[in-house]
Amino acid sequence: MKKISVLLLAAMMLFAFTACDGSTPEAPTMSEEALAEAISSAGDNGTVTLTGNVTATNAIEISKAITLDGAGYTITRDNSGASTGNPNDGSKSVVFVNGANATIKNLTVSGTNPRAAWDAGEFGIMICEGANATLENVTVTKMNAGIQVCSATATVNGTITVTGNVYGGISVDQESGNKTKGKLIISNGAKIVCADEKVPAIWLESTAKADIVGADGFTSFDRKNDQVYYLAEGQSKDNFFDAKIGDTYYFTLDEAIANATSGDTVILLRDASGKGIGSKDQGIYDQSRGRLIIDFNGHTYTMTDPAVGSTGTETQAMHWGTGLGSVTMKNGKFQVAEEAEGVKMAMQNYIDFTAEDMIFDFSNIPVGRYAGSLYGDYNGLEIPMFNNNKAGVMKLNKCTVIMPAESTKGISAGGKSVTLTDSTIDGYICLEPECSVTLKNTGAKDVVAYFDGDTVTSTVEEDGSTTYKCVDASVTPVASAN
């Protein structure tokens, strides 16, 4: 039998030790100083190859025409080094390509940024000052933004992965005072990967400041302030807008409502906030257009500012004005923010109004009295969800309505009638004279008269529901024939 060589025996013993111990060899490392020295010593068009993972305390600057080959390793910045605070000098980046025709390939760049706040200049790779750089098979993560191309040109090849950056993948921009536009060239076959749902894979700060070539296969759209967003494969446009009608997207819910036509369904695409919503007399929805459906799609809309209402009485979270048509709100939550100003009333409605599977949270509306101010005879501790429709019905099905605990007036029938089915009213239901409310499988604190002195009667219907009606105390009853 042949003798086993010493080297082979040693290798077998190391394997056996590793397998039994369960440990794995640590990845090789390269010091920040060694990398900086290698870049400094490299000649034009030379190549610097990483020999291990690098932890950098300061930006790794490349200001000459070289190739930085990461060889599959990672440069991580720990942010312990100094930063000038100037967003244009690269001091907060990990790799700073400063005016050079450099190539970066086979490299992962990582920050340690846990913050959602914008830290000016915190890019993984920053390409500036007229550079003409090439990126190939590069990954950038855990930065404010992955890559910035600012008053420079960058060409991308292979696969560029920019997932896990707070504000997005690749920013293309123009430095203030610099006449050179930023330019991103996506080579044929290059792939941009961004698995984040709510930030763009690429964005141009504006078309006046930046250009992009080779993005024909990307979903793109204009944002506010002249920005243009480009989405990678798998990213959905739904995550970047508040609402849509069909295939048309809108930045805000009230903007979508304003553009709705008869029979349209406005779909809320994400939790959103904004002004009160309502009809055309608020400059929002033209009620003569007919039926409108607002599908909250499982999301929450938070009313902030401003309130809506008839001219001079803009005090409502919702206002559906006179005219033909109907509104249905379904499948979500409408709430008023604690910081919303000037809101005295939850809703004023003059049309056929239906709500299905909705939560209405009005608990943050300050409780006050209308008497002596805007609404004359109305009194009590308010926050009503008014129905003032004299010709139609307000219907709530499988809904929850939350009023402030101090409120003595809640859902108010001042029009024809209100029907509540399978719902929970955390507050009072109040009736004006000659008005009615029908409750089926619905609980409330009580059903009371809106005006002092009026009385409420109740009748149990054949289907088990209860109908309440209000009798005006000032009307003398007609004498009975008996």
Instruction: State the pLDDT at residue 258.
Output: 85
Residues 257, 231: one domain?
Answer: no
Q: Is 391 exposed, middle or buried (0-12, 13-18, 19+ CB in 10 A)?
A: exposed
Residues 222, 326: one domain?
Answer: no
Residues 232, 265: one domain?
Answer: no
Average pLDDT over residues 57-84: 89
Q: State the pTM of this model.
A: 0.81
Domain assignment of residue 234, yes or no: yes
Instruction: State the pLDDT at residue 81.
Output: 61
Q: Both ends of the chain: CA-CA distance in Å?
A: 128
Whether the CB-CB separation of 374 and 381 falls below 8 Å is answered with no
What is the share, in percent, of the chain residues with pLDDT greater than 90?
A: 63
Residues 231, 260: one domain?
Answer: no
CA distance 97 to 95: 7
Residues 280, 414: one domain?
Answer: yes
CB atoms within 10 A of CB 179: 7
Instruction: State the pLDDT at residue 78.
Output: 84
Tokens of 89: 């000098």
Residues 322, 443: one domain?
Answer: yes
Give residue-wise pLDDT tens across range 194-214: 999 999 999 999 999 999 999
- Taking all residues of the chain, what is their mean pLDDT, rounded to a whole number? 87
Domain assignment of residue 18, yes or no: no
The answer, yes or no, to whether residue 21 has pLDDT greater than 80, is no
Instruction: State the pLDDT at residue 289.
Output: 52
Q: Which residues 6+ apart lie within 8 Å of 333 measured at CB? A: 296, 299, 300, 301, 358, 359, 360, 361
Residues 362, 284: one domain?
Answer: yes
Domain of residue 356, residue span: 241-471
Domain boundary among 239, 257, 279: 239
> How many CA within 13 A on the CB side of residue 125?
34
Residues 210, 91: one domain?
Answer: yes
Domain count, the chain: 2
Average pLDDT over residues 18-44: 85
pLDDT higher for 215 or 189? 215
Instruction: State the pLDDT at residue 6.
Output: 38
Tokens of 125: 């790779």
Residues 275, 351: one domain?
Answer: yes
Give residue-wise pLDDT tens across range 345-399: 899 888 889 999 999 999 999 887 655 555 545 555 678 888 888 777 899 999 9
Residues 235, 246: one domain?
Answer: no
3-state secondary structure string across 44-71: CCCEEECCCEEEECCCEEECCCCEEECC
Instruction: State the pLDDT at residue 286.
Output: 52
Domain boundary among 218, 239, 260: 239
Domain boundary among 239, 255, 278: 239
Residues 246, 282: one domain?
Answer: yes
Residues 181, 111: one domain?
Answer: yes
Give residue-wise pLDDT tens across range 123-178: 999 999 999 999 999 999 999 899 999 999 999 999 999 999 999 999 999 998 99
pLDDT confidence bin for 416, thresholds 50/70/90: confident
Phi-psi category of 325—alpha, beta or left, where left has phi over 0 and alpha has psi -120 to 50? Answer: left
Average pLDDT over residues 90-96: 91
C-alpha closest to that of 62 among 38, 82, 29, 88: 38
pLDDT higher for 65 or 2? 65
